[in-house]
Structure 1
Amino acid sequence: MTHLASAWSALGGDPALLPHVTVVEREGALRARLPVRQLARACVGACALAAAELGARRAGLGAVPAVRVDDGAVATAFASERHLLIDGRAPVSFAPLSRVWPTADGWVRTHANYPHHRERLLRALGVPADGASADRVASVLAERSAHEVEETVCAAGGLAVALRTPGQWAAHPQGAAAAAGAMVERERLDETPARVLPPLTDPAVLRPAAGLRVLDLTRVLAGPVATRTLALLGADVLRLDAPHLPELADQHADTGFGKRSAVLDLATGRAGFEELLAGADVVVTAYRPGALDRYGLSPEALAERRPGLVVAQLSAWGRRGPWGGRRGFDSLVQVATGVAATEGTRERPGALPAQALDHGTGYLLAGAVLRALTEQAHEGGSRVVRLALARTAAWLTRESGCAAGAAGAATGAVAAVAEGVVTTQGAPYGGPGPWLAEADSRIGRLRYARSPVAFAGGPADWARPPGPWGADPARWL
């Protein structure tokens, strides 16, 4: 089974729709030892096909529109945070203490972009905050074992993982739990009647999610990519954050396209949240499994108060296994799951050419929401979909079924037809230029990557650029 067929099957899609997809291969895009390009195009293609399917239903079309997945657009979008410019300034992706460090017996990866994560890391290592230079942290880590650092920092609520090989991760209980689960968990929660979606009325642009309201309770990076995609497709996306946990401004700029951003304290603003929930069609969360349950935000509790809801949950490690309650980010998952070991050398761990676990999982998450909406229109029922970065990593490292880095050598107009997917050979990837755009916004002049989700008649860009974090009212338009 091809990557795209596998992704589409994970979303519950009809394989008969795969011939509607054309893939444009570009040599040199997302070059890696692992089949990153294949995974990336599969995630985008499955999302775009789900959008086209829902759009055809709502517009009363006789056939699903043609989907086009271009490796160049995909490669550019998967590094969107690197291509962003704000008034000509390039954002800083990682803080000084977010990196790979040598330890007494191996390597460890830390993540300290947010101030509270930095503080927890330093406290766990016994490094005073006022003397926390990279050299000081390096000297402390060099005297400790990687697994000791992992456990000590995680126990303090910080983020650190020891480098593992694919075999070591497969033998780890969390690795086994991640590999055993479905790539996309899909569940019907109740017997709510079939959803009646109003027909699309805009003849100019096919926006499958038009008129739908999405509550976005996500943070870096996969969740915001998913909701950014739903916004592209016409959804009214309102991102909610706690006022005491501000998002990093550059990250918000990259993933805030098409959305509005508001702050709401769930501990003191429950009435406001319940009012928003009453008008929502979709709720997307990206916190540790169970972290929001105390606020009544488990899928079951949400669906009980808002029947017919689609709940999408994202986590780093999955909800099963000993690490189910741990925090995590793409860079950490790469190191823990053997990806960094595979992409590196004996002297130093490597990394994927993009945060592909984040971006790929984000597009799959958006596709899962779109497919849940389509299924609701047929069968009804409140729905929950769940994805995890570690599960996507398992797909990349052990279940791809393709030679690492293979891109196909066929030439000509049509290179291959696999599982019904038409593949054509395009020019080599020469850089992101053709897939970048510019726009003015309330936060400055932006250069940004356009969305790779493309189908006939669909939107070419977002309806609005991002605004300042937390600057919008916490209400529906």
Structure 2
Amino acid sequence: MAGNDLIPDRSDFTTADTIAHIWNHLGLPAEFVSSLSLPDADRHSRSGLPSSFKIGHLAQSTIALSALTAALFQSTRNFSIPRITVPLLRACLEFDSEKLYTLDGNKPDFSGGLKSFGGPVQKTADGYVRIHDGFPHHVAGALKILGLPPTASRDDFRSDLLKWKSIDLETAAMESNCVIAALRSYEQWDALPQAQYIPSIPIHVHKLESGAPLIPPQPPGGSDRCLRGIRVLELSRVIAAPVAGRTLAAHGADVLWITSPNLPDLPDIDRDLARGKRTAQLDLTTKEGKAKLLELAKDADVFIQGYRPGSLSAKGFSPLELAQANPNIICANMSAYGNQGPWGGNRGFDSIVQTGSGMNVSEAEHFGEGDAGRPMPCQALDHASGYFLATGICAALYKRATEGGSYEVDVSLAGTMKYLRSLGQFPGKTGFDCPTTGDQEIEEYLETRQSEFGELKALKHSAAVEGFMPGWDILPKPLGSDKPEWV
């Protein structure tokens, strides 16, 4: 059973049930769900993702929802809904897309940071922690808390960790510029005050201001994709929010990815997630940078932000301020723990939420080989949250077209975690009796194109839309290659 007082029991849901459940929650026309085709749905053995969690179910349902809502918006232009097909295996592969591309034949390298100091979790005085090491300043912050220099050895690192209790180290990280999670069980997570604030439905869409219905005109020759004519500002890094932007781009949106010149390039992740996007840089610590972003927002349909809750609001870009500047805007927020509760303003990432919420402990218990914690085989929370955010955005575009107004969309990694947990887990070790997908089978779903970084071979989008051609026109390029302007 998946349920308790905090976690609804959806363990008997099929993939189609999950899609219908979230679709109905969003208040969308029920008859359109019948346009979906889900090959191999609920056949875990075809997912290629060995896990106790129903990741294949989550992958197929979230990608299908994002494609179906994009087509729903397009129906306001052509008054019909096309057939949507999302095969299970292709959806599962796309949940691992950042690991499956090659650049000039070379695979991405994720061995940096603190990974050379040990496994995914590190031993403390009373348990284990996970230290996020995706950004150099997070690594530097963790070493600073431990009182270690950047040149610290593995032995020094492990020795100093043993001087800390897990919760104390997690708390110290929350008070500084780094991200650390204590490894918890479900019971320990459920006892936290923050657990009470995590919604049971992973997508929240609400109207900010009323207005007249608006359907942006389709550009000439723009009938090949559902979101042609939609302008998207994306302010994000790492995986979850960039997946949302990449998904909107696959369906034809003009996505302008705004990054900070004060943050480093993350080449191994950015090369995959930048597909379909123009890229410009603005320094929001300057008046000029903020003025330019506001100018762009006034002509945008969608404003995606994936930074810590409150960080952009502090610079004058709260959803209400954006709606005052642009009464037709859709503000989409991606966060770790939502924007409410004692952890509402905290930084967080997929691996951190997995560690702190009990998922890794439960995965290890199901695997049954005595590990303290075991990560899922892919960044499932990141990818699912990205597709959930794209779904919420497209639902808001449909509502804006039919009802008018500006909207806010909220998705959190913890909300996705809660939904995945509610689907239940495969009993014992049975979920791990699932063969991984071989390179030869993956090859069928890759496309090879020339980028500014070299020959890029990467996954095609897994959703097929009858009569349309989802995909990416723009290939990855160096950050800041484009001017901060609409085309």
Task: After TM superposition, give the deviation of residue 460 of structure 1 in Å.
Answer: 4.0
Aligned residue in 1 for 2:311: 291
Greater shift after overlay, 370-379 or 429-438? 429-438
Secondary structure class of the residue paired with 1:108? strand
Counterpart in the other structure of 1:24? 39
Select which of 454, 469, 478 maps to 1:468. 478
Alignment-mate amino acid for residue 49 of structure 1? L
- The answer to whether the Cα contact below 8 Å between 1:87 and 1:444 also exists between their aligned partners in 2 is yes
AA partner of residue 485 (structure 2): R
- Please point out which of 200, 211, 228 is paired with 1:192: 211
Find the residue that maps to 2:151 and give its secondary structure: helix
What is the match of residue 467 of structure 2? 457
Match of 1:64 in 2: 81
State the match for 1:106 in structure 2.
127
SS in 1 for 2:339: coil
Q: Does 1:89 align with 2:99?
A: no
Letter of the structure 1 residue corresponding to residue 101 of structure 2: L
Amino acid at match of 1:374: Y
Comparing 212-221 and 83-92, the one that deviates more: 83-92
Q: Tell me: CA distance 1:187–1:35, structure 2 relative to 1, closer, same or farther (3 Å).
A: same
Question: 2-side partners of 1:79 and 1:401: how far apart?
Answer: 22
1:53 counterpart residue number: 72
Q: What TM-score results when the alignment is normalised by the length of structure 2?
A: 0.88
The equivalent residue for 1:329 is 349
Counterpart of 2:453 in structure 1 is 443
Q: Which amino acid aligns with 1:362?
A: G
User: Are the structure 2 counterparts of residues 94 and 363 from structure 1 closer, same or farther at C-alpha, using a change threshold of 3 Å?
Assistant: farther
Cα displacement (A) at 1:196: 2.8
Contact kept, 8 Å, 1:252 with 1:469, in 2: the verdict is no
Give, in angstroms, the shift of residue 134 of structure 1. 3.3
Give the Cα separation in 2 of the matches to 1:163 and 1:23.
36
Distance (Å, rounded) in 2 between the aligned partners of 1:11 and 1:189: 16
From 256, 263, 266, the counterpart of 1:248: 266
> CA 1:122–1:440 in 2, change beyond 3 Å: closer, same or farther?
same
Residue in 2 aligned with 1:277?
Answer: 297
CA deviations over 1:66-118 (Å, ceiling 9, x no partner): 11111111111100111021112211235331531122221110012211111
Q: Tell me, in whole angstroms, the C-alpha distance in 2 between the residues paired with 1:327 and 1:157.
A: 9
* More divergent stretch after superposition (243-252 vs 76-85): 243-252
User: Which segments of 5 or more consecutive residues in structure 1 lack a partner in the other structure?
Assistant: 408-426
Distance 1:48 1:139 in 2: 49
What is the CA distance between 1:140 and its match in structure 2?
A: 1.4
State the match for 2:8 in structure 1.
none
Unmatched runs of 5 consecutive residues or more in structure 2? 1-12
1:200 is displaced (CA, Å) by 6.6
Deviation at 1:428, TM superposition (A): 9.6
Listed one character per residue, the Cα deviations across residues 120-167 of structure 1 (whole Å, up to 9, x for unaligned) are 111111111122x33322221133221121112222221100111112
Distance 1:428 1:334, change over 3 A: closer
Is the Cα contact below 8 Å between 1:249 and 1:469 reproduced in 2? no
In the alignment, the residues of structure 2 paired with residue 76 and residue 50 of structure 1 have an alpha-carbon distance, to the nearest angstrom, of: 21
User: Is 1:35 equivalent to 2:50 in the alignment?
Assistant: no
Change (3 A) 1:56 1:18: same
Cα displacement string for residues 207-239 of structure 1 (whole angstroms, at most 9, x for unaligned residues): 121111111101111100000111111111111
**Is residue 81–residue 254 contact of structure 1 (8 Å, CA) maintained in 2?**
yes
Per the alignment, residue 415 of structure 1 pairs with: none
Tell me what 2:4 maps to.
Answer: none
Partner of 2:378: 354
CA shift at 1:348, angstroms? 2.9
Identical pairs, percent: 35
Partners of 1:23 and 1:352 lie apart in 2 by 23
Residue from 388, 392, 413 that aligns with 1:389: 413
1:106–1:163 contact (8 Å) kept in structure 2 = yes
User: Does the aligned pair in 2 maintain the 1:216–1:238 contact within 8 Å?
Assistant: yes
Contact 2:113 2:136 in 1 (8 A): no
In the alignment, the residues of structure 2 paired with residue 216 and residue 301 of structure 1 have an alpha-carbon distance, to the nearest angstrom, of: 17
Give the direction of change, closer, same or farther, for the CA distance of 1:11–1:93 in structure 2 (3 Å limit). Answer: farther
